[in-house]
Amino acid sequence: MPGTAPPEWTQIDLTSRRGGAGQRITAVILAVVGVAGFALSFRSLAPWWWEFALMAFGCAVIVLLAAGLWINAGTSVASTVALQETGAAVVLPVVAAFETSDESLRYQLQLRLPTVDEEFVVHACGDRRCVAAGRAAPDAELPVLLDAAHKTWGVVHDAQGS
């Protein structure tokens, strides 16, 4: 269609299977804590409906957060596996870096993609490798997995590639 913008590049936060399993274990622990908190408070707070309602709401929020963590872990691992299967390992130059004002040291890095159109993507990170690249910009490079067919990419933060 004429006049439509090309699809944007999607950044994938690379997550290992081990990291995904750790997130799912944390989600199960959170869910158990939420259900146990509700069960243990039911008997003692039943006469006071207002306190009971607040405790039930808090426990429900904890269980919902656990469900979100479980779903996010599966999605992250699946996206990482798909990118590792179809993507290519490349090194992208950092053309600009901006220090952000978070509570920890973070940089927003602008990376040049190896495309004909001179496209750029932005990666915000506080990883030691990204902080070093931000300090050395514009003479720095970062290892990236890149899938031009699906317009997905992810910065490789460790030596194993995920």
- The whole-angstrom separation of Cα 72 and Cα 158 is 21
Q: How much is the average pLDDT of 105-109? A: 83
Beta-carbon-side half-sphere exposure of residue 32 (alpha carbons within 13 Å): 6
Retrieve residue 151's tokens. 């317009």
% the chain with pLDDT above 90: 39
Per the prediction, the chain carries an average pLDDT of 86
Which residues, in sequence order, are CB contacts of 44 under 8 Å at separation 6+? none
What CATH architecture applies to the domain 87-155? Answer: Beta Barrel (2.40)
State CA 89 to chain mean position distance.
19
Please state the pTM of the whole predicted model: 0.72
Give the per-residue pLDDT at 61.
96
